[in-house]
Amino acid sequence: MKYFRAHGAFWAGERRQNNSSTEKLMNRITKYFLFVAMLFCSCGYFSQNKKIDSLLALVKRDNSSPVLGRLGEEDTNKVNHLNNLGWQLRQSNPDTAIILSNQALAIAEKVGWKRGIASALGNLGVYNWLKAEYPKALEYHFKALKMSEEMGNKNGIARQLGNIGIVYHNQADYPKALDYYFKALKMTEELGDKNGIARNLGNIGSVYKDQVDYPKALDYYFKALRMAEELGDKSGVAKHMGNLGSVYNYQADYPKALDYYFKALKMAEELGNKNGVAANLGSIGTVYASQSNYPKAINFFLKALKVAEELGDKNGVAIWLGNIGSHYIATKKYGEAEKYLLEALNLCKEKGALNNERSIENNLSELYTKTSRFELALTHYKKYIVARDSIANDENAKKQTRSEMNFEFEKKEALTKAEQEKKDLIAAEEKTKQKLFLWFTIAGLGIVLVVAVFIFRSLQLNKKKNKIITEQKEMVEKQKEIVEEKQKEILDSIRYAKRIQTALITSETYILRKLSDLKTHK
């Protein structure tokens, strides 16, 4: 580990010392690409795709300005334009796409833009997969996965998990393929990414198809097709139709198989998907071969081979070479058969495509048996057995079952957890309602108590007030009685005095009269 860290630091330092020479090299690469692109333009290729034209113009413009060496909008745009243009060219020209993404990677690393680095690494993984460079593809995808995990980019993680599954699938490592497919499916379901869900459902269906579990394969393919149709994803619809055609072919339902294959071929041609065109041409050939119409089958295989060679798709080339060779055996053209089969076998060994290698070894054993070269027939049969057993050994089957069981368990666990969370939420809401009801009840009782106290106090005050008023009334009445008694006493006194006065006045008159009478008598 120490050695590799020192080695890495050494190269990083050298890159810093040679920035100008690196930029010159990148510029030369870009100029080379632009030259190649212009050739395509002259052939009318780019004129058919406005998106490619637009991206090409942006890349030309970007090439006129230097890389600033710091994270900014100008440099991130350069990375995005290169990555996007490479992605548009992946089907028709993967080699040019690799040049573009390597340039994007160099710029992203220079400015330290992790998202751009991850995008370029992931794209390089896809392009190398298209060229059947599986070890390189895995290396790039695992690097992109690690970068996505460091950034916490769940969409990027899901994408790389699915891509890794595809590479393992092509290498016939079905347990690892299913493991990564199910991981990718789980993450896309969590993200609500319907396109990703459809893609992973289709990939899982393909693994089951390759293992001759046709009911499961059809189940996953139809789920994927329905989702792709719902999303309006024509590319996905074409792919899933082709997959359904292959299952019906294996089940010997040839009319259904051809119906799905021709529909898929038409859609692939409309979309300009040359890989899809090659795959469906070859698949149509297999249906005719299954019906023993070998000349027609070989004709479609040769068409598929031509498209695969144009694309530089070595895996596709190996498959169609093998199919052509095996069907030349059926037509007793043994020399042609041997030529195609050996060429296909060399490509499979070079790319580590064990599944295809297994089929070709079996075909070669059959060829040498029919041509009485029994020693070679036995040698290739033994190699076929080794390849077959290495693909389908018991441990692999156990691993595969565990992958599916783990996914189903995790899915059920997630559902159970979701249901429990729902119940907990309902319980919490009910508890909150009960608390609110209790608080409202307490508040209501409090208000009632306050009102009651207020009323009681009011009543008490009114009672006291009424008592005071009553007492005041009684006092007034007493005072009135006293006054009345006093008035009576005064009146009585006055009357009595008047009587005395009257009596006195009367006596005085009498005396005066008497006195007057006395005087008269004298």
Could you tell me the CATH number of the domain that includes residue 58? 1.25.40.10
Is residue 104, in this structure, part of any structural domain at all?
Answer: yes
Find the domain containing 52 and state its range.
Answer: 24-192
Write down the pLDDT at residue 34. 45
**Cα distance between residue 289 and residue 295, in whole Å:** 8
Count Cβ neighbours within 10 Å for each residue of 340-372 and write b for 16 or more, e otherwise: bbebbbebbeebebbbbbbbbbbbbbbbbeebe
Total domains present in the chain: 1
Write down the pLDDT at residue 72. 61
Is residue 35, in this structure, part of any structural domain at all?
Answer: yes
The residue whose two tokens read 């409090």 is 446
Contacts of 166 (CB under 8 A, 6+ apart): 129, 177, 203
The rounded average pLDDT for each run of 10 residues, N- to C-terminus, in the chain (522 residues) is: 26 31 45 42 46 80 63 77 87 86 89 90 92 91 94 94 94 92 94 92 93 93 94 91 92 94 93 90 92 92 93 86 91 92 89 83 91 90 86 54 52 59 75 79 82 79 79 78 79 79 66 71 62
Write down the pLDDT at residue 207. 93
Write down the pLDDT at residue 403. 57
Say if residues 258 and 241 touch (Cβ distance below 8 Å). Answer: no
**Cα distance between residue 108 and residue 128, in whole Å:** 20
3-state secondary structure of 388: helix
Is residue 376, in this structure, part of any structural domain at all?
Answer: no
**Cα distance between residue 196 and residue 249, in whole Å:** 27
Is residue 264, in this structure, part of any structural domain at all?
Answer: no
Is residue 40, in this structure, part of any structural domain at all?
Answer: yes
Is residue 239, in this structure, part of any structural domain at all?
Answer: no
Is residue 433, in this structure, part of any structural domain at all?
Answer: no
**Cα distance between residue 117 and residue 26, in whole Å:** 16
Is residue 49, in this structure, part of any structural domain at all?
Answer: yes
Write down the pLDDT at residue 427. 74
